[in-house]
Amino acid sequence: MNLHRSVLLTALVTTFCLAQQPVAPPHGSHDAATGLNKDLIKDITPADFLKLGEKEKTVVITLVAVWSGANYGMNFNGYSHGKLTYAIPTGWNVEVRFVNPSPIPHSAIVVERDTTKKLQMGEPYFDKGSVTNPAQGMSLKKETFTFLADEAGEYALACGFPAHAISGHWVSLNVVDDLKVPTIQLGEAAEAKEATK
Ligand SMILES: [Cu+2]
């Protein structure tokens, strides 16, 4: 190979390599390995998973998809297969702040517990009990929805993206008569903790 060709080849290889570099996002909080936009969750701690709302009989649930790598990212707040349990008194308003910091689409929808065994979640059990388009999912985004938990029963906060719930992408939601304060139980062995402001 003559010098000319060698220099040209080096230049081509260099250009190719530079083209393969990930483009830096404007805020530098984008994790190149996972694609997570950590800006979306930087202020969220486990204390935010359940909080009392400002108004009477309102509660705020923060539900983060891909909180960790658990269950291949198909978790909410780090838990899958119903192993995080929310209990809400019947007749309370529930505000769900759903966040998906990952580029993989996920969503959130309230369904009856048994529905999580299906491939498709269908319509939310309670009126307005899901993000806008749960079957389509959303990535690198957040959306809040509020519903009235007006019927006691065993439900799930599930991912509505096809086949995610059956793969474990759901947590438990119980609507309970005669309960005074909403509670959260992080894991089957843990004690249920009452919501505070
Ligand atoms: Cu999902």
Assess if residue 56 is contained within a domain: yes
100-122 residue pLDDT tens: 999 999 999 999 999 999 999 99
- pLDDT at 4 (0 to 100): 58
Distance 19 CA to ligand 1 centre (A): 32
Distance 166 CA to ligand 1 centre (A): 10
- pLDDT at 26 (0 to 100): 45
Assess if residue 184 is contained within a domain: yes
Assess if residue 127 is contained within a domain: yes
Q: Quick one: pLDDT band at residue 6, thresholds 50, 70, 90?
A: low
Containing structural domain, residue 57: 38-194
Between these two residues, 24 and 81, which has the higher pLDDT value?
81
Question: Helix, strand or coil for residue 42?
Answer: coil
Instruction: Return residues with CB closer than 5 A to ligand 1 (ion).
Output: 106, 159, 161, 164, 169
Mean pLDDT of 46-64: 97
Assess if residue 12 is contained within a domain: no
Assess if residue 10 is contained within a domain: no
Extended beta strands in 53-180, E state: 58-64, 84-89, 92-100, 109-112, 141-149, 153-158, 170-176
Distance 116 CA to ligand 1 centre (A): 12
CATH code, domain with 172 = 2.60.40.420
- pLDDT at 20 (0 to 100): 47
The residues facing 59 across adjacent strands are 52, 94
What is the C-alpha separation between 149 and 154, in angstroms, rounded? 11
